[in-house]
Amino acid sequence: MSETFVSHLECSLTGKRYEAGRVHGLSETGRPLLVRYDLSALARAVSKEALARRPEGFWRYAEFLPVGKPENRITLGEVTTPLIRTPRIKAKLGGGEILVKDEGRLPTGSFKARGLALAVSMAKELGLSHLAMPTNGNAGAALAAYASRAGLKSTVFCPDDTPRANVEEIALQGGDVYLVNGLINDCGRIVAEGKDKTGWFDVSTLKEPYRIEGKKTMGLELAEQLGWELPDVVFYPTGGGTGLIGMWKSFAELEAIGWIGARRPRMVAVQASGCAPIVRAWEKGEEHAPLWENAHTIASGIRVPVAVGDFLIIRAVRESGGFAIAVDDFDILDAQKEMAREEGLLLCPEGAATYAAYRQSLADGRVSREDRVVLFNCATGLKYPMPQAGRRVDRAKPVDYAQFL
């Protein structure tokens, strides 16, 4: 017996309703579909107290998610990712409390596990057998792992400068991986054009409705971890923006069922200065972000030159009273090194971008010294190239121990 509180799907641009329980991609206007729930029934079905007794991991929020049959919830042992305090950095900067939400603890080492677990689970529930996507690395790894777990075929296209660890991980976990001499939008075009020829289903960012629902669990988890209070500011590394959109959606749903009030964190979309279409649109007061030409940054996960959900990202930022900010690659590397040496946290470049953005925002007054902020580290830093290190000691010669002082 299927058990879900989904009432319908809805075009994010026009509000047109679409029937639940059927395979959907984008709406007829080419915009993302959002999953809507019978929130009154959901509120009657679960309480904060009942939730607190459940095992950790994002499937604890099953009532808030679209998968109807428990046997279709594909899992790889997800955990509730920790909120890590950074007292040395706080003291050094003289700001408010800084919490790092470390998504690198999830299966496949990144927050992409959330969205792809839901997308794959719904693909299984809806009878799909072959999934395809473009990726800068981590999403493809998550798709390959969860698809293999579900017994589904996955095909993944990466820019040819994708970190080797990601490419090899995708292949080892069962995905058919191909390198493309272009950027993620070029990979996306190949996936879109191949649908009719191959029969695969496109699980690109926001081109199906369920990755948002998986990323939404970041907001549910954050609220629960903070005692159903929300922080003052959330810094989020923004490429396709699924997580920022999903968190914003989760806050609205939590308020609707009476678990939180109307207060929201200011949402900050963090991009790299070499690829900042959302920042440019936000600064111009526009709602759509045209293609960013010649996109480049060391933070490959946010090297997304154009986003199908651009208007949803910008709306969330504006409605929250937040802002969009770009940081240079030099500052990203410096932030990564500082966080590692001061706090022992090895952030991925995209996560380091959020710390660089916080430092910049604290300095220019966009964030106050009293604000409690959450920085999202979206993946383990172990997946990315690191500077060469290590000096040699010759065991056959007398050791000069003074050099170690």
Element (H, E) at 314: helix 310-319
Residue 178 corresponds to which tokens in the numbers above? 């191909």
**What contacts 24+ positions apart, CB below 8 Å, involve 21-25?**
21/68, 21/126, 22/126, 23/126, 23/127, 23/128, 23/201, 24/208, 24/209, 25/201, 25/202, 25/207, 25/208
- pLDDT score recorded for residue 1: 35
For position 264, what pLDDT does the model report?
A: 98
Residue 98 is predicted with a pLDDT of: 98
| Residue found under tokens 């590692």 | 340
How buried is 105 (Cβ within 10 angstroms: 0-12 exposed, 13-18 middle, 19+ buried)?
Answer: middle
What is the number of other CB atoms lying within 10 angstroms of the CB of residue 188?
24
- Matching residue, tokens 């058919």: 176
The pLDDT tens digits for 170-204 are 999 999 999 999 999 999 999 999 999 999 999 99
pLDDT in tens, the chain (405 residues): 358 999 999 999 999 999 999 999 999 999 999 999 999 999 999 999 999 999 999 999 999 999 999 999 999 999 999 999 999 999 999 989 999 999 999 999 999 999 999 999 999 999 999 999 999 999 999 999 999 999 999 999 999 999 899 999 999 999 999 999 999 999 999 999 999 999 999 999 999 999 999 999 999 999 999 999 999 999 999 999 999 999 999 999 999 999 999 999 999 999 999 999 999 999 999 999 999 999 999 999 999 999 999 999 999 999 999 999 999 999 999 999 999 999 999 999 999 999 999 999 999 999 999 999 999 999 999 999 888 999 999 999 999 999 999
Domains and CATH numbers, the chain: 83-108+211-381 (3.40.50.1100)
pLDDT at 2: 53
205 phi and psi angles, rounded to 5 deg: -50, 120
**390 burial class (0-12, 13-18, 19+ CB within 10 angstroms)?**
exposed
Q: Which helix (H) or strand (E) holds 158?
A: strand 153-159
Distance CA 398, CA 16 (A): 78
Contact status, residue 73 vs residue 121, Cβ threshold 8 Å: yes
pTM score? 0.95
The pLDDT assigned to 3 comes to: 80
The closest of 383, 37, 47, 89 to 228, measured between CA atoms, is 47
DSSP characters over 285-313: T-S--PPPTT---S-GGG--S--TTHHHH
Closest CA to 150 of 170, 172, 131: 131
Closest CA to 362 of 316, 325, 320: 325
